[in-house]
Structure formats: C-alpha cells, structure tokens
Amino acid sequence: MTRTETLSRLTSAADLDVLKNKVLPRLQVRKDPNAKPYEGVTHNIMICCDTGCTSSGSRKIVDAFEKDLKAKGLDKSVEVVIIGCHGFCEMGPLIVVYPNDIYYVHLTPDDIPEIVDETIKNGNAVERLLYQDRETLKPIVNYKEIEFYAKQNRILLTNCGHINPEDVMEYIANDGYKALAKALTMKDNTDALLEEVKKSGLRGRGGGGFPTGRKWDLCRNAPGDKKYIICNADEGDPGAFMDRSMMEGDPHRLLEGMIIGGLVIGADEGYIYCRAEYPLAIRRLNNAIAQAETLGLLGDNILGSGWSFHLHIKEGAGAFVCGEETALIHSIEGKRGMPTARPPFPAISGLWGKPTNNNNVETWANIPGIIRNGGDWYASYGTANSKGTKVFALTGKIRNTGLAEVPMGITMREIIFNIGGGIQNDKKFKAVQIGGPSGGCLPESMIDRPVDYDSLIEAGAMMGSGGLVVVDEDTCMVDLARFFLSFTRDESCGKCTPCREGSTRMLNILNNITQGKGLPGDIELLEELARNIKLSALCGLGQTCPNPILSTIRYFRHEYEAHIFQKKCPAGQCVDLLTYWIDTEKCIGCGACKKVCPADAIDGNKKEPHVIDVRKCIKCGSCIDACKKQKAISRK
Amino acid sequence: MGSTSPGQTVDLTKLEPVFEKFVDVTKGSLIPVLQAAQDTYGYLPFKALEAIARHLKTPISQIYGVVTFYAQFRLTPRGKHIIRSCQGTACHVRNSARILETLKTTLGVKPGGTTEDLKFTLETVACIGACSLAPVMMVDTDAHGRLRPDRISKILDSYSN
C-alpha cells in the first residue's frame, strides 16, 4: 500500500514531466491487460470508500482483502487501492479489479476469498458477484458496458473513482498539474488564459449560471493589489453530493483549478470554504494541499516560476445561508454568516474589503481541462448557451442512485430512465425535483426538454447545484413543498423581513393544508406571498425560497385542491389525513404487525384479529410492510 | 446566558493548546477556535467562552452572536453518542419522518434533546450526502442506511455501553 516515491520539490515544468513518466509504469496495469508487473505488482483492486460506499460497509471489504491476500501470500503482488466515488452508489460496496476491469457489486466480506482465488489466482470472473443487466439479466464484466456508465460523458469525473485520491502521483500520472505548468508559461500573458475560459462558455455550476470568464474579468480588473479567490464548497442543498464526491475522489483537480484561477485573476491567496459535515473531504483536501506544497505546485515560487499562491481551508459551522457569497465571506471573517446587499459586489469589495472571486467546486474543477485542452474543446459539449457537462446526484425513488456526468442538453428523461434506470419497485414517475430548496419540480410532461440553464428557468425550476430528487406516485407534492419551506424557514438568517416572516407565513399555510385545515383562497394567498417574497428578499435564499411552492402549484394544483376541499391526500402521505386500520376479516392473527410496531399500538391474541390503537399509532407504516402477504392493513 | 450552570467547574487549561494553535487572532480565527474548543469539551461551556473572549480580545456579546448563529455550536452538554437523523430531500421522500418518529418514541426525547442518562443526543441534519442509502442516520461517525423503523432499537442497543 505504501508508495516508494518520495515527494521532492519540482522546480520546472520539465521536472513535472519526468515525475509523470516515472509514475506511469506502476499504473499501467489499469490501462493495459498485458502490462508487465511493476515491482512485482500484478493486480490492482480498487475499492470505493466514498461516504456512500463506506456506509454500505466498504471498509470491511478492505480489511477482508488485506487479511485474505496476506494469508495467501499475495499481499506483495496485489495492491489494494482506496478510491473515491465511482458513481454507482446503489451498488455499493463495489470494486474494480485490474487488469481486465472486472467490476463486482454488493459485496460482503464473505465473498472476498472467492474473488482472491478465482479472479486473482485463476483469472476468472466470479459470475454471481457481477452486475446483472436489469432487462436481459445477463452478467456484465466491464462496468463501461453498463447503461448507467455507458450513457455518461465523464470529462470532469474522469479521475473520480479511478485514482487513489490521497496519492498526488496518480493525479500527475493522469496529466495532473499539466494545465498549471502550461498556464505558468503564459504568466505574462494571462489575457490569453482568460480568453480560453471565456471561449469555453463555462457558467457557474453553483446554481446561478453566471459566465465564469466574465466573473473573473470583473475581479481581475478591480483596483487593488491584494485579491482573494474563494471556493464555495458549502454544498448545503439537501439531496446534492456532487461537490463532496469530487473533493473526496479527485481533490487535486480542484486545487489546480484554483491555482490557475489565482494566476489569471491576480490573487495570491485562496480559501476553500467546506462544510463541516464533510470530514472526509476536508481531510483529503488538507492532505492534497500538503502534497502540492511539498512538490512546489502550491505555495512560494510555484514550479520555479517566481509566482506564489497560498491556499487555506475554512470549515463551515452549519448554516445553509453561507452558500450565499456575501454570507460566506462574513463567515470566513469569523462573523455571523449573514448576507449583505450588493453592490458592492465581492469582485470589488469582498473578503476583508478586497476584490474577491468566488466559484463553486465544480466550476473550479472544470478549469484544468479547459486550460489543457482549450476552450473550444470544452465548448464542443453542450448546447448553444450552456456549454460543457454537468454532474448530477441522482437520488429519491430512482433505481440507480449515484453520481452522473452528462453533457448539457441531454433530456431529463434520458437521465432518469436510462442512466437512472427508472423508478424503484416499478412505481409510476410523478416528478423530479431539481435545484434543491431554490429550485422546482418538473412533471412528466416537461422531462423531454433538453436540460440547460435557460430551459429549466423557463419550466419554473433551476439548475441549482445539480441535485435531482425523483419522486413517485407515493410522494405528496404539497408535503414536498412544505418540506422545502420548513428547511428554508429554519435556515433563513432573519436579517430581512420578506424572507424571515414570509417563509414562516407560507409554511403556516402549508402546514394547515397538509393537516386538513386548509381554507379556500389559500392557494391564491400562497401565490401572492411567493411573488412578493421573490421581488423583495435580500439574497438568493429568500428570493428563491418560494420556487418549490410555485412550481408544485403550477403542475400539481389538483393535489393542493384535494387537500383543501376534500381533506384528502391523494398520495396517502400526509399523516394527519390518514388512519390505519386492520381488516378483521383478513387478519389471521399472526402477530407480525404487533412485533414490528415501534409504538406498541397493536394488540390482539394469537390467531385472533388484531386491532390498532389510533391514539398510540404514529402512522409509521411498519405494520403495512410487515403484512405484505395477508394485506389486512390499510390506510385511508 | 446558555444553560450551563454558573457554579460548574471547567478545566480551562484544556484551552491552552487551542490558543497556541491560533496565535494570530486577527484573521477570522473566532470560528476555528470555537470549533476546536467544542471538540475539546463536547460543547461550549460559558467559562470557556469567557476565556476565548479574553484571548481574542473580542466582546463576549459578539462571540455569543456567532455561537448562536451556527447550528454546529452547542451551549449545553451532550450525550455520549450523537444520533443525527437525516431529514434531507432524498431521505424525506423515502420516509425519514417515520425514522425520526421512531427515534423520538424509543429515546423519549425530541430533536435537540439528550436522554436523562446522558447516553444519547438526538439531532436532525439536513443531508449528510449519503442519499443513495436513504433513509439514513449517523450515530457518532457511523452512517446507518436503508433504515426501517423496526431496525432502530437494535442499532441503538449496539451503542448501549
């Protein structure tokens, strides 16, 4: 596991090339099935230990491999590599065995000895552990042939899940820091670098979609000797984990993008503001910064160019509003993270009053590719006004949860039904929520439109950071709107009245509706409040918080009306409008429901019909799940 | 201010290594200092806040303002194990409300509350980024995914000592 190369300072672009060529042979096993063993290593086993896979138990898989390989005397010839997010979180714990790219899913520690015997020793795939195509039921050996991966276009996530994120050498072997070396040769002509960024058409991936090149230009031209750049890694949208996966899986790409940004903008210092809920991302970034500094790729006199740039990490302390750039800046300064009115824009007066440029993780991470391959290359992906690719986190009631990178302009239907594999348990698709608490939902009639910044705004949603939450027929859209409002209400900083009072007022109305206390006129009142808040709130959080309400009313008005006029929740989700009961004719008294009820609300003697005490019932639905065979319990 | 009892003794020497690390008090070090202090004590005792105010030469009112603004900071002691029930969107649509309801009934505390034996503190969190395993909860640093209400008590039992 430990590497033999020692990190020593690089003083020129040529040094970087030498280092790259030194590392390449040891990674050849992953590219070429006929590669010669390097220092006796014949196999690489890549194990995804991203937050998702770790929760599914991937660390136990690592231990099992290390134990079994040692016992069989293979620990010198097989290298176990811990990788970041491979993307297909639903299949975790998952591994890839090189050579031959054999992909195993849903592993348990008991499977490991068989893999070592069959795959490592005999060179065969273990069929029962392979991914099985959902329709043909045929096992697939190479993950690249799986629809989930085949339909993606991974130009940003190219390393994510394929390299050891804690080893800078692996990044360098994959052309890492080559863009920086190229940029440094042009350090006296940063106009040309900026031109490439402008040409790429890259727009801010944090949600707003402001052209990145133009944003840089503003800060670059602002008067002042001292300038800062910031990476907004405060990924607070519930349901989004793209930035976390990138920081955990390929941290050096973010650093390289920021260093180049510093050079172009004329900043000598940068901050990464990362939420404290991402401890692994913070650890990996700290590690990456230390390695880059040792190699002379960051810090003083980068690659012997005479130019210096320093990076710091600031941990957030749990406030969603700090995703707003002025609030984020105040938080770095150690103050309450409250937004301030713009102008002045941070490009003129930002961190400690100095010109500051702020982009999110995905935006920065796109920069090395653009500088290395040129703006035209990047602009060859995507649509007329939205260039490049976008990373989405697929979650909710979707079969293939995970991380997907697709070119802009693909349809939502392709993302959900091809890459995402459709809806779990063969339920009916109802809507996809995009853009988190600031975004909106798209019903089936809207998912054939191309996904780009402008078409989403037209449809009443927004790109946001890229969280896609798919919901099926069992999800109540009124309750979903209520959920987002309760989130924004809690996260409102309280500085401006429209957001503080308005979100509370809208939440009260939504609470009433979902509790069966809605009144005629509530929908119109919500629409009026929403319009006013959008116009008058101080920052993005307040201005966008009515979006989930407006878009659910736009597409699912009938659900609001059913709650208000019939006092019914069509999806059967709003607990106050539901009661649970046992059909005494069907109940055989098996006691399965009684056993699982966490509230002790079910009573009855063996082999006699049971009853639910509605006063104790917390309406959790466990009993219905337990009574699948007999189907004696229902809610209405 | 806060609910730390006034007579409580707090070992302030534990703060010395924190102060040593943040000698430069000018550049936004308040939040990192508070984070390090909370790591040390498990929460932010009022006496520690006073010491921080003296060290950073910052009014205690300002520090209190920052502490109460951010969700991460706590003014009261917490349980030995922290349960964070995820209420993010992905968990919400996979019925995390059921999980939270069950946790509340099983532990007999509301979110933010600590059991009387100081064993568990129940909190909610708006996404831990393990959406693929929804509904999820974290107990300390372990994530437990694909939860069902009837699995909760068994998971809690495994932390009972």
Instruction: Render pLDDT for A59-88 as a digit per residue (tens, 0 to 9).
Output: 999 999 999 999 999 999 999 999 999 999
Q: Return mean pLDDT, chain A.
A: 94
Indicate whether B25 pLDDT > 70.
no
Domains of chain B, earliest start first: 12-69 (no CATH), 81-157 (3.40.30.10)
Q: Sorting pLDDT into bands at 50, 70 and 90, what band is B3?
A: very low
Q: Is A428 exposed, middle or buried (0-12, 13-18, 19+ CB in 10 A)?
A: exposed
Mean pLDDT for A487-503 is 95
Question: Between residues A62 and A36, which one has the greater pLDDT?
Answer: A62
Indicate whether A414 pLDDT > 90.
yes
Confidence (pLDDT) at B24: 66
Indicate whether A513 pLDDT > 60.
yes
pLDDT in tens, A44-63: 999 999 888 888 889 999 99
Task: Name every chain A residue with its beta carbon within 8 A of the beta carbon of B98.
Answer: 618, 620-622
Q: Sorting pLDDT into bands at 50, 70 and 90, what band is A3?
A: low
Residue A261, both tokens: 């940004």
Residue A417, both tokens: 């039904």
Confidence (pLDDT) at B9: 76
CA distances from A597 to A251, A578, A587, A601, A624 (A): 45, 17, 16, 7, 10
From B68's Cα to the closest Cα of chain A, the distance in A is 9
The residue with tokens 């006199």 is A301
Confidence (pLDDT) at B95: 86
pLDDT in tens, A138-169: 999 999 999 999 999 999 999 999 999 999 99
Select the residue of A92, A319, A332 nearest B71 (Cβ to Cβ): A319
Mean pLDDT for B83-112 is 91
Task: Name every chain A residue with its beta carbon within 8 A of the beta carbon of B66.
Answer: 334-336
Between chain A and chain B, the number of residue pairs with CB atoms below 8 A apart is 158
A332/B71 touch (CB, cutoff 8 Å), yes or no: no
User: Nearest 5°: phi and psi at A44?
Assistant: -120, 130
Indicate whether B30 pLDDT > 60.
yes
Select the residue of A467, A475, A622 nearest B150 (Cβ to Cβ): A622
Select the residue of B35, B65, B101 nearest A620 (Cβ to Cβ): B101
Confidence (pLDDT) at A1: 39
Confidence (pLDDT) at B26: 64
Amino acid at A67: K
Indicate whether A534 pLDDT > 70.
yes
Note whether A443 and A430 are within 8 A (CB). Answer: yes
Q: Sorting pLDDT into bands at 50, 70 and 90, what band is A614?
A: confident
DSSP string, A389-434: EEEEEEEESBSS-EEEEEETT-BHHIIIIIIS-SBGGG--EEEEEE
SS3 assignment, position A110: helix
Among A520-524, A549-553, B85-89, name the one with the lowest average pLDDT. Answer: B85-89
- In angstroms, the CA A53 to CA A401 distance is 12
Indicate whether B8 pLDDT > 70.
no
From A186's Cα to the closest Cα of chain B, the distance in A is 33
- In angstroms, the CA A171 to CA A511 distance is 50
Indicate whether A471 pLDDT > 90.
yes
Confidence (pLDDT) at A571: 92
B133/A333 touch (CB, cutoff 8 Å), yes or no: no
Confidence (pLDDT) at A492: 95
Q: Are strands B142-144 and B137-139 parallel, antiparallel or unpaired?
A: antiparallel
Indicate whether A6 pLDDT > 80.
no
Indicate whether B7 pLDDT > 80.
no
Mean pLDDT for B34-54 is 93
Residue A37: CB partners within 8 Å, gap ≥ 6? Answer: A29, A77
Residue A317, both tokens: 């302390």
Amino acid at A152: Q
Q: Sorting pLDDT into bands at 50, 70 and 90, what band is A546?
A: very high
Domains of chain A, earliest start first: 20-146 (3.40.30.10), 168-378 (3.40.50.11540), 389-472 (3.10.20.600), 477-566 (1.20.1440.230), 579-635 (3.30.70.20)
Confidence (pLDDT) at B132: 78
- In angstroms, the CA A78 to CA A42 distance is 6
A132 forms beta bridges with A139
Q: Which of B68, B123, B127 is the best substitution to test chain A (most A C-beta atoms within 10 A)?
A: B127
Note whether A438 and A540 are within 8 A (CB). Answer: yes
Residue A53: CB partners within 8 Å, gap ≥ 6? Answer: A47, A85, A86, A89, A92, A93, A94
- In angstroms, the CA B9 to CA B27 distance is 31
Residue A338: CB partners within 8 Å, gap ≥ 6? Answer: A321, A327, A330, A493, A495, B69
Select the residue of A241, A277, A320 nearest B131 (Cβ to Cβ): A241
- Work out the percent of chain A whose per-residue pLDDT is above 90: 84
pLDDT in tens, A420-439: 999 999 999 999 999 889 89
Indicate whether A104 pLDDT > 80.
yes
pLDDT in tens, B99-132: 999 999 999 999 989 999 889 999 998 877 778 7
Residue A285, both tokens: 């970034």
Q: Is B122 on the interface with A (CB under 8 A)?
A: no
- In angstroms, the CA A91 to CA B133 distance is 10
Helix (H) or strand (E) holding B138: strand B137-139
Confidence (pLDDT) at B4: 47
Indicate whether A210 pLDDT > 50.
yes
Q: Return mean pLDDT, chain B.
A: 87
B31/A317 touch (CB, cutoff 8 Å), yes or no: yes
Q: Sorting pLDDT into bands at 50, 70 and 90, what band is A118?
A: very high
User: Nearest 5°: phi and psi at A11?
Assistant: -115, 5
Confidence (pLDDT) at B93: 86
The residue with tokens 């490991």 is A112
Confidence (pLDDT) at A66: 96
- In angstroms, the CA A43 to CA B27 distance is 48
